[in-house]
Amino acid sequence: MMKFTNKFLGSPLSPILADLVIQDLENNIFNTLTMHIPFYYRYVDDIVLAAPTNEITNISDSFNSYHERIRFTVDHGDELGVNFLDVKLLYDRGSIIFDLYKKPTNSGRFLNFFSNHPITHKKGVVIGLVDKILFLSHPKFHHFRILN
């Protein structure tokens, strides 16, 4: 996984400028790469891609040569898979499956039921969590995730 560091953080124009810069970077880099990238996904400044192991350094160098103030880092993941946003991508018998991922700093805190928020907000938190399990994780993880 490669991450983009944004020097315009805090400005109202940050998301727009970051998107324009990354789109230009993508157009330039992908025109120069000679290997096939099986998948590439980006959400704002987080990128996940699959590539041959021996080409990772070449790809990273290509991304980092775009501009001296933009630096990408590479996270190879662990033996199970790689984390991207709040999802863990796992390689399972020739396929990629998904499970939920929580950062180690996750507090596990949600909206307090005894707060003065409307009941619809409180229900929405629970519904959102269940939807996240059902729609983002592979069915083999559902039982474990719903109980934990």
Residues 121-147: what's their mean pLDDT? Answer: 93
pLDDT at residue 6 is higher than 60: no
pLDDT at residue 136 is higher than 50: yes
Whose tokens are 């109202």? That residue is: 12
Q: pLDDT class for 76, splitting at 50, 70, 90? A: confident
Tell me the Cα Rg of the chain.
19
The pLDDT of residue 9 is 58
Least confident of 85-89, 91-95, 111-115, 119-123: 91-95
The pLDDT of residue 143 is 92
Residues 62-67: what's their mean pLDDT? Answer: 89
The pLDDT of residue 126 is 93
Domain boundaries of the chain, sorted by first residue: 2-74, 81-147
Q: pLDDT class for 3, splitting at 50, 70, 90? A: very low
**Would you give the end-to-end CA distance of the chain in angstroms?**
27
